[in-house]
Chains A and B, each alone.
Chain A
Amino acid sequence: TIFEAPHDEL
Chain B
Amino acid sequence: MNIFRLLGDLSHLLAIIILLLKIWKTRSCAGISGKSQILFAIVYTTRYLDLFTTFISAYNTFMKIIFIATSLATVFLMYVKFKATYDHNHDTFRIEFLILPAFVLALLINHELSPVEVLWTFSIYLESVAILPQLFLVSKTGEAESITSHYLFALGSYRGLYLFNWIYRYYAEDHYDLIAIVAGLVQTVLYCDFFYLYITKVLKGKKLQLPA
Contacts and interface: CB of A to CB of B under 8 A. Distances in A.
Contacts of A8: 56, 60
Interface in B50-97: 50, 53-54, 56, 60, 63-64, 67
B191 interface: no
B60 A10 contact: yes
B178 A1 contact: no
Contacts of B175: 1, 3
B117 A5 contact: yes
A2 B169 CA distance: 11
A interface secondary structure, majority: loop
B178 A3 contact: yes
B5 A9 contact: yes
A3 to B, nearest CB: 4
B42 to A, nearest CB: 16
B60 to A, nearest CB: 7
B193 interface: no
A10 B195 CA distance: 23
A2 B176 CA distance: 6
Given A9-B5, A9-B162, A10-B9, A3 B111 contact: yes
Contacts of A1: 174-175
Interface of B: 5, 9, 12, 50, 53-54, 56, 60, 63-64, 67, 111-112, 117, 120, 162, 165, 174-180
